Structure formats: C-alpha cells, structure tokens
C-alpha cells in the first residue's frame, strides 16, 4: 500500500524517488501510488523504458491511461512521441516497447467501468483554448461524467481564483514551477489533493505546464 489515504494531500517530487525494477529488463518504475504489491495493482507510476526495451504483451484490466513525458513510446499500433496522451480502455491489449527510450506517467486500472473510449491525442498538434483567467490556456484531453483531464498552460505571474476540488484534483507538473499557498511544486512534482480540498494556485516568473485530473477521487475511500 502506497499513498492510499485519499483524505490526505500527497506531494511527491518524483525525480527524487528511487525507481524499482519491473518484470521486464530495461523497464523501471517510480511508484507514486499503489494499492497492493502486485502486477494487478491500481497504480500511478512514472515508467522508464531504456533504449531497446519492451514490456510483455498485456491486457488492460480496467484501463490504462498514460502521458508520454520524454522520448518516443511505441506499440504494435504506432509510435507516440513526447506529449502524446493515450487511454487504452478495459480489455484492450498491446505489446509496448521503445527504440530510443522514453518516460511515461501511467495510471492503471482507474477507468470508470462504462468509459470505453480509446483516446490518442498528440498534444503538440492540438489547439489551446482560453482559460478562466488571463494567462491561462487549457487543452481538454478527456471528460467522462465527473472526471476531467486536461493540460493547463500558465503564463508567468498568473493567479487563479481560490477554488474547491469536488472529487479531488491530481496534478503532474510537466514544465516550470506551480505554486499555491501551501507550497512550491517544481517540474516532475505529483500532487494529489482530496475531495473538497481548497487552494489558490499561481505561477511566478517561469510559468508552468501541468497535467490535471479532477473529479476522479470522488468515490475513493
């Protein structure tokens, strides 16, 4: 069990954690949350594929959601460069690999049982929409009932309004530095804030690019 108290805020600087090996040579994982110590765990993980490594063919029980952070991730269906967002729904399967190496943010077994949409978005090619305040741009990636996933780009010195997270909020800082009244969250920080938590986020001179999920922690005990 790792970070399974969903009433607590969790902040992890993923680059300071030690990766662990996986069943496949050349594939390592940095664990952010996991409900059990097995290959069948519900988990959120940074996965690194070394050059010319592969992972065994597997079926996605309750779905696999991932964002390519660095390098190019591949499977028998295609090549996915850094910035690609992928959702492989329940019962899909593939044999992933990486020719030149890659790093991924991966969430396993967390799909709503009715959410069976396959999604592949190369965020490098998608338009940004205006955010709720000046200095903020949003790229919606997926919405399903209460759950929503997006990239949010913050200009330098941008302030967002004080708000509450119905169903929680999960953030991975992709670039720059994200702040709120509780702390400073540099690149590669993972933040999970509980249902009904509140904050007032902002950026300073370097701005930020963040991956954000909201609403998905509503039914987590």
Q: Which stretch binds Fe ion (CB under 5 A): 3-11, 29-37, 139-147, 161-169?
A: 161-169
Smallest separation (angstroms) from Fe ion to the CB of 181: 11
Q: Which residue has the tokens 């978005």?
A: 121
Q: Which residue has the tokens 């010319």?
A: 52
Total of chain residues touching Fe ion, rule CB under 5 A: 2
130: its two tokens = 């205006």
Of residues 18 and 38, the one with the C-beta less far from Fe ion = 38
Site string for Fe ion, 40-69 (x = CB under 5 A): ------------------------x-----
Residue 138 contacts residue 128 (beta carbons within 8 Å):
yes
Smallest separation (angstroms) from Fe ion to the CB of 114: 20
Smallest separation (angstroms) from Fe ion to the CB of 177: 16
Of residues 14 and 179, the one with the C-beta less far from Fe ion = 179
Residue 2 contacts residue 33 (beta carbons within 8 Å):
yes
Of residues 28 and 64, the one with the C-beta less far from Fe ion = 64
Q: Which stretch binds Fe ion (CB under 5 A): 76-84, 123-131, 146-154, 167-175?
A: 167-175
Smallest separation (angstroms) from Fe ion to the CB of 85: 14
Does 169 engage in binding with Fe ion (CB under 5 A)? yes
58: its two tokens = 């597997």
Q: Rounded to an integer, what distance in angstroms lies between the CA atom of residue 54 and that of residue 126? A: 29
Q: What is the dihedral of CA 105, 17, 15, 74, to 10 degrees?
A: -30
Q: What is the dihedral of CA 67, 206, 164, 1, to 10 degrees?
A: 50
| Contacts to Fe ion by CB under 5 A | 64, 169
């Amino acid at each position: 069990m790792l970070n399974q108290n969903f009433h607590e805020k969790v902040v992890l600087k993923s680059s300071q954690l030690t990766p662990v090996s996986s069943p496949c040579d050349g594939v390592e994982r940095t664990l952010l949350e996991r409900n059990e110590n097995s290959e069948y765990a519900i988990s959120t993980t940074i996965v690194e594929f070394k050059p010319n490594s592969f992972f065994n063919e597997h079926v996605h029980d309750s779905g696999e959601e991932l964002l390519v952070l660095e390098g190019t991730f591949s499977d028998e269906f295609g090549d996915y460069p850094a910035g690609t967002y992928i959702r492989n729904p329940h019962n899909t399967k593939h044999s992933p690999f990486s020719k030149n190496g890659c790093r991924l943010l991966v969430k396993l077994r967390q799909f709503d049982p009715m959410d069976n949409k396959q999604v592949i978005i190369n965020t490098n090619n998608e338009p940004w929409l205006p955010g709720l305040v000046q200095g903020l741009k949003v790229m919606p990636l997926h919405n399903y009932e209460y759950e929503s996933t997006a990239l949010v780009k913050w200009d330098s010195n941008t302030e967002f309004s004080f708000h509450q997270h119905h169903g929680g909020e999960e953030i991975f800082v992709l670039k720059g530095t994200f702040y709120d009244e509780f702390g400073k969250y540099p690149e590669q920080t993972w933040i999970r804030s509980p249902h009904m938590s509140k904050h007032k986020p902002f950026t300073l001179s370097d701005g930020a690019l963040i991956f954000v999920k909201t609403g998905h922690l509503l039914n987590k005990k």
